[in-house]
Structure 1
Amino acid sequence: MTLDLITWNIKTGGGGGRLDAVVALLKRECPDVVALQELRDFARHDGQRMREVAEALGMVAHLAPSAFGQPVAVLVRPPLRVASRSSVRWRLHHAAAAVEMPTSAGPLTVVSTHLNPFWPYRRLREARWLAHRYRGPLTVIAGDLNALDPHTAHTERLAALAPLFRRRHLGADGRPDTRAIEALGGAGFVDVWRAAGEGDGLTVPTTRGGGREFSNCGMRLDYVMARPELADRVVRARVIRGDEAEWASDHYPVAVELDLAAAS
């Protein structure tokens, strides 16, 4: 079997009429699993908005609340079945939602998370903790990691940012801080984009969705990080552009196709 996964920060819950565009794009793409971030107001009224979006997509949702009002979620499309679920709130600036599903290749765990947007060291600590907690052989950590790729030159892009926003991505030595992604790599997670990505991979900002805190040159802040056993099964990774993706959020969605056929 193949499995299509999308991760997307939809910017403050898709307010201002953008949520309909988010749903329209996801309906068209029809992924098997979706990791969503910045789900403001989705937990209100006993999760009514989350239920409405899940029903519109024909999926089952697991929502993890956030102390700062930006929940995250994993949505699963039947016949995939949620075998177990968990939420992390107190160790993270935002949250993490994790779902385990039986597949022909074994139990698959998908974690949707949104790492600290302001402080590189706290972002590093969050990445380390998540990598330690979720480390099964078929595990994905996906979401807005707010972190820089250690294999890319960032000086020029960061120079285009206002000082307030540039500080979010600099270490104590004034250099681009890439430690969160390095920590995940050191824990055995593979950056799927580097393994099978198409195009430049930049996920922010969109052309009409705002994002003044991002460089005009573009940045890659949204990742799918997979354990090696799962990374070997990646068929394709791409950033979804055009149509609603240009204005429904300040982040583009990232789509990954996995081959989960049982080992012979």
Structure 2
Amino acid sequence: MRLLTWNIRTGGGDRLPAITEVLRQERPDLVALQELRGFDQARLGRLAAELGLQGHLARSVFGQPVAVMARRITRRTSVTWRLHHAAAALTFGDLTLVSTHLNPFAPERRRREATWLAPRFHRASRLALLAGDLNGLDPHTDHTAAISSLAPRYRRRHLAPDGTVDTRGLAAFERGGLADLWLRAGVGDGRSVPTTGCGGAEFGPMRLDYVLGNPAVAERVREVRVLRGGATENASDHYPLLAELDL
């Protein structure tokens, strides 16, 4: 089973054909999308239908919608509070997939969001996946070079009160039972921002996009990799992340 997660940057705009091209080419069974500005359920449904999938959109009070897609959905859940953006979840059979997008500006708010989301979903089904733009850095990597390349106003987004690199958001997911699947099966360069065509000053070379899973899923991950080249270079400021799992 193939899972693709992607922040498509403010709804895609005139880049949406390129985004759709990548999705068609990769033919994922599961999709998690973030930053769906301008999308409603009908528009998401049309995109999902082009891919042979069903879709569920979660609106956001403060930020932008997020969505999940799968070949079959038996239950849908939206979380539109306690989060800067939102979370969209679907369940079919023994699997629950959550797409979410955490606060881009404040490390402490990301920590609170992760602390709240992890226990809510890691036991939602026997197999639980959470994917998306988590806007945080993992606690197992030296991020000094990536942080030092940023202007001070962007560097603050990744610093703890004592000035050290803040990794509490991803650490909170780990404590909540959701493992970073890249650490188990990552292949190649895992940095998901910035792209060559749409990158911005707010990014250093970082891994901000993740696929997390509970222990039952973590045992079944085969490969996780960032998709680069071709349309991905100009379709968004984030590269898509693809995970292959034995589900």
SS of the residue 1:121 aligns to: helix
- What is the CA distance between 1:39 and its match in structure 2? 0.2
Counterparts in 2 of 1:176-215, with a 5 A limit?
Answer: 176-215=165-204
CA contact (8 A) 1:41 1:69 kept: no
Partner residue in 2 for 1:53: 47
Equivalence map 1:109-188=2 (5 Å): 109-136=96-123, 137-188=126-177
2:131 and 2:212 in contact (8 A); partners too: yes
**Distance between the aligned counterparts of 1:7 and 1:156, measured in 2?**
26
**Correspondence 1:58-97 to 2 at 5 A:** 58-77=52-71, 81-97=72-88
Give the structure 1 partner of residue 12 of structure 2.
14
1:253 Cα shift? 0.4
Pairwise CA distance, 1:229: 1.0
How far off its partner does 1:52 sit?
2.1
1:31 corresponding residue in structure 2: 28
Kindly state the Cα deviation for residue 55 of structure 1 after the two structures are TM-superposed: 1.9
So what's the TM-score if we normalise by structure 1? 0.91
What is the alpha-carbon distance in structure 2 between the residues aligned to residue 62 and residue 211 of structure 1?
Answer: 29
In structure 2, which of residues 89, 92, 95 is the aligned counterpart of residue 98 of structure 1?
89
The AA in structure 2 aligned to 1:126 is E
The residue identity in structure 2 corresponding to 1:7 is T
Bigger shift: 31-40 or 47-56? 47-56
Q: Is 1:221 aligned to 2:208, yes or no?
A: yes
Q: Assess if the C-alpha contact under 8 Å between 2:84 and 2:102 holds in 1.
A: yes
**Contact 1:99-1:110 within 8 A present in 2 as well:** yes
After superposition, the C-alpha distances for 1:75-113 in whole angstroms (9 at most, x for unaligned) are 112xxx2111100011100000000111xxxx1000000
CA positional deviation for 1:210: 2.4
CA contact (8 A) 2:78 2:87 kept: yes
Which residue is equivalent to 2:235? 248
From the superposition, tell whether residues 189 and 53 of structure 1 become closer, same or farther in structure 2 (CA, over 3 Å): same
Q: CA deviation at 1:51?
A: 2.2
Task: Give the Cα–Cα distance (whole angstroms) in 2 for the partners of residues 92 and 189 of structure 1.
Answer: 18
* Maintained 8 Å contact 1:117/1:146: yes
Amino acid in structure 2 at the alignment position of 1:142? A
Q: Which runs of 5+ in 1 are unaligned?
A: none
Aligned counterparts of 1:220 and 1:229: Cα–Cα separation in 2: 24
Matches of 1:75 and 1:22 in 2, distance apart? 15
Provide the rounded CA distance (Å) in 1 between the counterparts of 2:162 and 2:86.
Answer: 28
Whole-Å Cα distance in 1 between the matches of residues 73 and 138 of structure 2? 31
Following superposition, which runs of at least 4 residues in structure 1 exceed 3 angstroms of deviation? Answer: none
